[in-house]
Amino acid sequence: MSRRSIKAEQLHLWRGVNHVLCGIDLCVSPGEMLVVTGANGSGKTSLLRTLCGLVHPEEGRILWGEQNVRQDLPQFHSELVYLGHEPPLKGDLSARENLRYWVGMRRTFTTSELDAALIRVGAGGWSEQPARTLSAGQKRRVAIAGVVLFAAPLWLLDEPATNLDVDGQRLVSNLIEEHVTAGGLVIAALHHELNLKSVATQRLELSSR
């Protein structure tokens, strides 16, 4: 696992006339989790997209370790996994194929690793079905298997437990706990409270405009 921490200094993001992020500061070290909360439209997704480098903030900088992420985006990207609120799956491919193409772009992995990730999220029984026949919760589980399979130190999760049943929410909590305990970093935008007792958790409340 990486020993680097992620730091953001005075992030300001404008979207047209909207001042979406107003001077956000944060610092998450290995073995820590940051929960981002806030009302709908308060900028949780914008913050995550800014942190992973998809969106350029108007002001401020993001540091991965000591280095500004803009200096080497590909290197930074290869150490993070971002899961947006839509699972990036193709309806015409099976769960297994989806993961092979999605995660395979980043790293090579063995079939047994893939099987293990699918079984872990409870997708063992329906991993060969086309993703369009899966329910929203099942798709979310496949996406979470992808997050695990990336084996990246930094997880940026946007509402990871959406559409999941109680069992699925417990699964997400357990995976996050394991990842953080192993020295990973998690930044998650959350609506539902996840039961995360055993990890060091910071909170960032975004105020709505």
Partner 1 sequence: MKSSALSAARLVLVRDLKLAFRKRGQLVQPLAFFAIVTTLFPLAISPELARLREIAAGVLWVAALLASLLALEFLFRDDAHDGTLEQYALSGQSLTWLVFAKTAAHWLLTGVPLAVMAPLAGLALGVPYAALTGIMAPIALGTLALSLIGAIGAALTLGIRRSGVLLTLLTLPLAMPVLIFGAQATDLAVRGASYAAPLYLLAAMVVLGVTLAPLATAAAVRISLE
Least Cβ distance, residue 13 to partner 1 (angstroms) = 10
C-beta of 9 vs 97, nearer to partner 1: 97
C-beta of 106 vs 120, nearer to partner 1: 106
Alpha-carbon Rg for the chain in angstroms: 17
Least Cβ distance, residue 172 to partner 1 (angstroms) = 18
| Site string (50-69) toward partner 1, x via CB under 8 A | --xxxxx-------------
Q: For residue 100, give the nearest of 117, 114, 84, 80 by alpha carbon.
A: 114
**Secondary structure class of 129 (helix, strand, coil):** coil
How far apart, in whole angstroms, are the C-alpha atoms of residue 121 and residue 87?
14
Q: Rounded to 5 degrees, what angle do the CA atoms 8, 42, 102 make?
A: 65
| Site string (95-124) toward partner 1, x via CB under 8 A | --x--xxx-xxxxx----------------
Least Cβ distance, residue 101 to partner 1 (angstroms) = 4
Measured CA to CA in angstroms, residue 138 lies from 76, 112, 126 at distances of 29, 21, 9
Helix (H) or strand (E) holding 100: helix 95-104
| Site string (16-55) toward partner 1, x via CB under 8 A | ------------------------------------xxxx
Binders of partner 1 among residues 119 to 158 (CB under 8 A) are: 130
Q: For residue 35, give the nearest of 208, 205, 203, 206 by alpha carbon.
A: 203
Tell me which residues touch partner 1 (CB under 8 A).
Answer: 52-56, 74-82, 84, 86-90, 92-93, 97, 100-102, 104-108, 130
